[in-house]
Chain A
Amino acid sequence: MDQQIIMKIDDLRMYFNTNGGVFGNKRKIVHAVDDVSLSIMEGETIGIVGESGCGKTTFGRAILRLYKPTGGSIEFMGQNITDMPERKLRQLRSKMVYVFQDPYESLDPRKTVGSTVGEPLIINHLVRNKKEYEKRIAELFEIVNLDPSMANRYPHEFSGGQRQRVAIARSLASDPKLIVFDEAVSALDVSLQARIVNLLADIKERLKITYIFISHDLSVVKHISDRIAVFYLGRVVELSEADELYKNPLHPYTKALLTAVPIPDPFLEDKRDVIFMDGEIPSPINPPKGCPFHPRCPFATDICRTDAPQLVDMGHQHLVACYASQEGRLPK
Chain B
Amino acid sequence: MANRNKKQPILHISESRRVFKALFKRKIAVISAAVILLTIICAVFAKWVAPYDPYTMDLTNIKAVPSWEHLLGTDALGRDVLSRIIYGSQSALVVAIVSVLIAAISGIILGLLAGYFTKVVGVIIMRFVDTLQSIPMTVLALAIAGLSGGGLVNIVIAIGVSLTSLYARVMRGQVLKVKQSDYILAEKMHGAGNFRIMFLHILPNCIPVLIVTITMQMGSAILMEAGLSFLGIGITPPTPSWGSMVQDGAAVLTTRPLLTIAPGIAIFILVYAFNTFGDALRDALDPRIRNRK
On A, residues with C-beta under 8 Å from B are 64, 66, 89-91, 93-94, 97-98, 100, 102, 105-112, 114-115, 118-120, 123-124, 133-134, 137-138, 147-149, 151-152, 154, 156, 170, 174
Q: Tell me if B287 and A174 are in contact (CB < 8 A).
A: no
Q: Tell me if B286 and A110 are in contact (CB < 8 A).
A: yes
Complex CA–CA separation, A88 to B140 (angstroms): 46
Interface mask (B182-199 → A, CB under 8 Å = 1, otherwise 0): 110111111111001000
Q: Tell me if A137 and B10 are in contact (CB < 8 A).
A: yes
Q: Tell me if A134 and B11 are in contact (CB < 8 A).
A: yes
Taking CB atoms, residues of chain B closer than 8 Å to A100 are 182, 185-186
Taking CB atoms, residues of chain A closer than 8 Å to B191 are 89-91, 93-94, 120, 123-124
27 A-B pairs (CB sep. < 8 Å): A64-B189, A66-B188, A93-B189, A93-B190, A93-B191, A94-B190, A98-B189, A100-B185, A102-B182, A108-B183, A108-B205, A109-B183, A109-B205, A109-B288, A110-B287, A111-B204, A114-B10, A115-B11, A119-B187, A123-B196, A137-B10, A138-B10, A148-B10, A149-B4, A152-B11, A154-B287, A156-B287
Complex CA–CA separation, A64 to B187 (angstroms): 13
Among the listed A102, A109, A123, A154, which residue makes an inter-chain contact with B190, where contact means beta carbons less than 8 Å apart?
A123
Nearest-neighbour CB distance to chain A for B140, whole angstroms, equals 36
Given known contacts A107-B183, A147-B1, A114 and B190 CB-to-CB distance under 8 angstroms: no
Residues of B188-220 at the interface with A, using a CB-CB cut-off of 8 Å, are 188-193, 196, 201, 204-205
Q: Tell me if B205 and A110 are in contact (CB < 8 A).
A: yes
Taking CB atoms, residues of chain A closer than 8 Å to B67 are none
Complex CA–CA separation, A148 to B12 (angstroms): 12
Q: Tell me if B13 and A152 are in contact (CB < 8 A).
A: yes
Interface mask (B260-293 → A, CB under 8 Å = 1, otherwise 0): 0000000000000000000000000111100000
Name the interface size band of chain B: 20 to 34
Residues of B140-185 at the interface with A, using a CB-CB cut-off of 8 Å, are 181-183, 185
Taking CB atoms, residues of chain A closer than 8 Å to B136 are none
Q: Tell me if A108 and B201 are in contact (CB < 8 A).
A: yes
Taking CB atoms, residues of chain A closer than 8 Å to B287 are 109-110, 154, 156
Among the listed B9, B186, B196, B288, which residue makes an inter-chain contact with A154, where contact means beta carbons less than 8 Å apart?
B288
Residue of A nearest to B288 (CB): A156
Taking CB atoms, residues of chain B closer than 8 Å to A97 are 189-190
B255 at the interface (CB under 8 A from A): no
Complex CA–CA separation, A66 to B180 (angstroms): 13
Complex CA–CA separation, A66 to B186 (angstroms): 9
For the A-B complex with A105-B183, A111-B204, A148-B10 known, give 20 more contacts whose Cβ atoms are closer than 8 Å.
Answer: A64-B189, A89-B191, A90-B191, A94-B190, A97-B189, A105-B181, A105-B182, A106-B186, A108-B205, A109-B183, A114-B11, A115-B11, A119-B192, A120-B190, A133-B11, A134-B11, A151-B10, A151-B11, A152-B12, A156-B287
B8 at the interface (CB under 8 A from A): yes
Taking CB atoms, residues of chain A closer than 8 Å to B196 are 123
Q: Tell me if B183 and A112 are in contact (CB < 8 A).
A: no
Complex CA–CA separation, A152 to B9 (angstroms): 10
Q: Tell me if B205 and A147 are in contact (CB < 8 A).
A: no
Q: Tell me if B185 and A137 are in contact (CB < 8 A).
A: no
Taking CB atoms, residues of chain B closer than 8 Å to A89 are 191
Taking CB atoms, residues of chain B closer than 8 Å to A106 are 182-183, 186
Interface mask (B8-34 → A, CB under 8 Å = 1, otherwise 0): 111111000000000000000000000
Complex CA–CA separation, A89 to B205 (angstroms): 26
Given known contacts A109-B205, A149-B10, A156-B287, A90 and B193 CB-to-CB distance under 8 angstroms: yes
Residue of A nearest to B13 (CB): A152
Taking CB atoms, residues of chain A closer than 8 Å to B182 are 100, 102, 105-106
Residue of B nearest to A103 (CB): B182
**Ranked 9 nearest A-B pairs via Cβ:** A93-B191, A154-B287, A105-B182, A106-B182, A90-B191, A108-B183, A120-B190, A151-B10, A156-B288
Taking CB atoms, residues of chain B closer than 8 Å to A124 are 190-191
Q: Tell me if A137 and B11 are in contact (CB < 8 A).
A: yes
Interface mask (B130-142 → A, CB under 8 Å = 1, otherwise 0): 0000000000000
Complex CA–CA separation, A197 to B88 (angstroms): 68
Taking CB atoms, residues of chain B closer than 8 Å to A105 are 181-183
Interface mask (B66-100 → A, CB under 8 Å = 1, otherwise 0): 00000000000000000000000000000000000
Q: Tell me if B11 and A112 are in contact (CB < 8 A).
A: yes
Taking CB atoms, residues of chain A closer than 8 Å to B10 are 114, 134, 137-138, 148-149, 151-152
Q: Tell me if B190 and A66 are in contact (CB < 8 A).
A: no
Which of B4, B11, B191, B196 has the most C-beta atoms of chain A within 10 angstroms of its own C-beta? B191
Among the listed B11, B12, B192, B204, which residue makes an inter-chain contact with A110, where contact means beta carbons less than 8 Å apart?
B204
Taking CB atoms, residues of chain B closer than 8 Å to A110 are 204-205, 285-287
Complex CA–CA separation, A301 to B182 (angstroms): 43
Taking CB atoms, residues of chain A closer than 8 Å to B4 are 147-149
Nearest-neighbour CB distance to chain B for A79, whole angstroms, equals 15
Residue of A nearest to B185 (CB): A66
Complex CA–CA separation, A109 to B182 (angstroms): 11
Residue of A nearest to B6 (CB): A138
Complex CA–CA separation, A119 to B185 (angstroms): 13
Q: Tell me if B186 and A134 are in contact (CB < 8 A).
A: no
Nearest-neighbour CB distance to chain B for A134, whole angstroms, equals 5
